[in-house]
């Protein structure tokens, strides 16, 4: 147990070093890692590894006890028909109705059937407990600004409710409103989470880190592309989404694409999602879930290179 986080820290220290180049401390680390990267490269010339420009992750937030299953399944089918993996950020408890997802709940039944039919594609992640704004931390938060004990209680409740539906413990946490604080991270680490995915700008402003980094055994990997306009909530135009995608590919070799399923009841909006997927397929991209990212970093199957990623293919999954 004890050596695992150290391995991950070594890998991600270098990973973060190549992204946050401004820090002098990280620069030394990066040098050391580059050396190791070169060694790795020569070790594995003709192995089962593949080079990719960009890792692409779709993060579909907000499936909850109040979800309209028809709308959600319409969005999920876009992913499934294209064989694209996706992470669903699930809110396990409805505070208004005092009702949680459990085996008798139709939303739970639907979520389980999608995961059973597409085990290679679907990750069910935890998206808070009630999704109710509890504090004015940043632009609002369900967790940030609460005490450690309060957050610990909330996450304990969340896990219990999540388990009632999925009979499993999630390893990815997506904080509602994309905001969380040091205490959240501490609780997540203690509960065995591997990855937290907030917002790009929030993370930069609060933690002073851009894109992926690791601390306390937890990988932080924020969404850096929002499918919907933050003010109007409307799905953006495909042209501007493609531009944002290209910029992220260029700068970070990462596109963590956040969407909210409930904005896609119209066919035209689903077409934009379809367009985003097709655009990513034209890039030399590797699709995965947030949990898959953490797992592959941890077991050494995913490595940062000078201008992209090297992925050890474990089985035939879809890539462009």
Comparison of 30 and 62: residue with beta carbon closer to Zn ion: 62
- Give yes or no for a contact between 180 and 144, defined as CB atoms under 8 angstroms apart: yes
The minimum distance between CB 299 and Zn ion, in angstroms, equals 30
Residue 74 C-beta: closest distance to Zn ion, Å: 18
Q: Provide, rounded to whole angstroms, the least separation between the CB of residue 61 and Zn ion.
A: 4
Restricting to residues 62-101, name those near Zn ion by CB under 5 A.
62
For the bound state, the minimum distance from the C-beta of residue 127 to Zn ion, rounded and expressed in Å, comes to 6
Report the DSSP pairing between strands 285-287 and 54-61: parallel
For residues 59 and 304, which CB has a smaller minimum distance to Zn ion in the complex? 59
Nearer to Zn ion by Cβ, of 198 and 308: the residue is 198
Query: By Cβ distance, which residue is nearest to Zn ion?
Result: 61
**Is the distance from CB of 198 to CB of 175 less than 8 angstroms?**
yes
Residues 274-313 that bind Zn ion (CB under 5 A): none
What letter does residue 9 receive in the DSSP assignment? H
Kindly identify the residues of this chain, within the stretch 193-212, that bind Zn ion according to CB under 5 A. Answer: none
Nearest distance from residue 290's CB to Zn ion, in Å?
A: 14
* Residue keyed to tokens 């949990």: 291
Identity of the residue, 17 or 63, whose beta carbon is nearer to Zn ion in the bound complex: 63
Give yes or no for a contact between 99 and 212, defined as CB atoms under 8 angstroms apart.
Answer: no
CB of 170 to Zn ion, least distance (A): 15
**Residue that is written with structure tokens 């937290």 in the block:** 196
Q: Which is nearer to Zn ion, 144 or 176 (CB)?
A: 176
- Segment near Zn ion (CB under 5 A); pick from 110-118, 168-176, 205-213, 288-296: 168-176
Contact at 8 Å (CB) between 131 and 154? no
Q: Which residue's CB is nearer to Zn ion, number 235 or number 302?
A: 235
Compute the C-alpha angle 89/95/99, nearest 5°: 85
DSSP 176-219: GGG---HHHHHHHHHTT--EE--BHHHHHHHH---S-EEETTEE
Residue ranges of alpha helices (H) inside 82-237 are 106-117, 148-166, 182-190, 200-207
307: three-class secondary structure by DSSP = coil
Nearest-5° angle of CA 157, CA 162, CA 167?
125
Nearer to Zn ion, 71 or 301 (CB): 71
Closest CA to 110 of 149, 73, 60, 145: 73
3-state secondary structure of 13: helix
Span 28-67, contacts to Zn ion by CB under 5 A: 61-62
CB 235 within 8 A of CB 245: no
- Rounded to a whole number of angstroms, the minimum distance from the CB of residue 135 to Zn ion is 16
- Residues 169-188 vs Zn ion: string with x where CB under 5 A? -------x------------
Size, binding site for Zn ion by CB under 5 A: 3
Q: How far is the CB of 42 from Zn ion (least distance, A)?
A: 45
3-state helix, strand, coil in the chain (%, to 5): 45, 20, 35
Nearer to Zn ion, 61 or 210 (CB): 61
Minimum distance from residue 131 beta carbon to Zn ion (Å): 6
Q: Among residues 145 and 176, whose Cβ is nearest to Zn ion? A: 176
Q: Footprint of Zn ion on this chain (CB under 5 A)?
A: 61-62, 176
């Amino acid at each position: 147990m004890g050596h695992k986080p150290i391995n991950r820290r070594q890998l991600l220290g270098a990973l973060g070093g190549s992204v946050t180049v401004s820090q002098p401390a990280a620069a030394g680390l990066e040098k050391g890692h580059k050396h190791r990267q070169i060694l790795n490269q020569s070790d594995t010339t003709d192995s089962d590894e593949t080079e990719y420009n960009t890792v692409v992750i779709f993060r579909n937030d907000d499936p909850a006890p109040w979800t309209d299953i028809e709308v959600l399944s319409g969005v999920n089918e876009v992913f499934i028909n294209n064989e694209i993996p996706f992470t669903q950020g699930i809110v396990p408890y409805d505070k208004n109705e005092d009702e949680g997802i459990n085996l008798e709940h139709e939303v739970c039944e639907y979520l389980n059937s999608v995961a059973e039919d597409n085990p290679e594609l679907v990750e069910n992640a935890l998206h808070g407990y009630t999704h109710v704004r509890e504090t004015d931390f940043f632009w609002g938060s369900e967790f940030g600004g609460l005490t450690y004990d309060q957050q610990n209680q909330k996450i304990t409740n969340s896990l219990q409710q999540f388990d009632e539906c999925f009979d499993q413990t999630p390893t990815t946490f997506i904080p509602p409103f994309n905001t969380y604080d040091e205490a959240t991270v501490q609780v997540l680490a203690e509960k065995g989470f591997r990855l937290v995915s907030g917002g790009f700008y929030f993370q930069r402003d609060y933690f002073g880190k851009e894109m992926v980094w690791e601390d306390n055994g937890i990988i932080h990997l924020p969404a850096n592309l929002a499918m919907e306009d933050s003010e109007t909530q409307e799905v953006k135009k495909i042209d501007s989404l493609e531009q944002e995608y290209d910029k992220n590919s260029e700068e970070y070799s990462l596109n963590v694409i956040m969407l909210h399923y409930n904005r896609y009841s119209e066919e035209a909006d689903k077409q934009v999602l379809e367009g985003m997927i097709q655009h990513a397929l034209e890039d030399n991209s590797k699709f995965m879930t947030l949990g898959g990212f953490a797992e592959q970093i941890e077991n050494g199957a995913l490595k940062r290179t000078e201008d992209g990623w090297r992925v050890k293919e474990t089985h035939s999954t879809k890539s462009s």
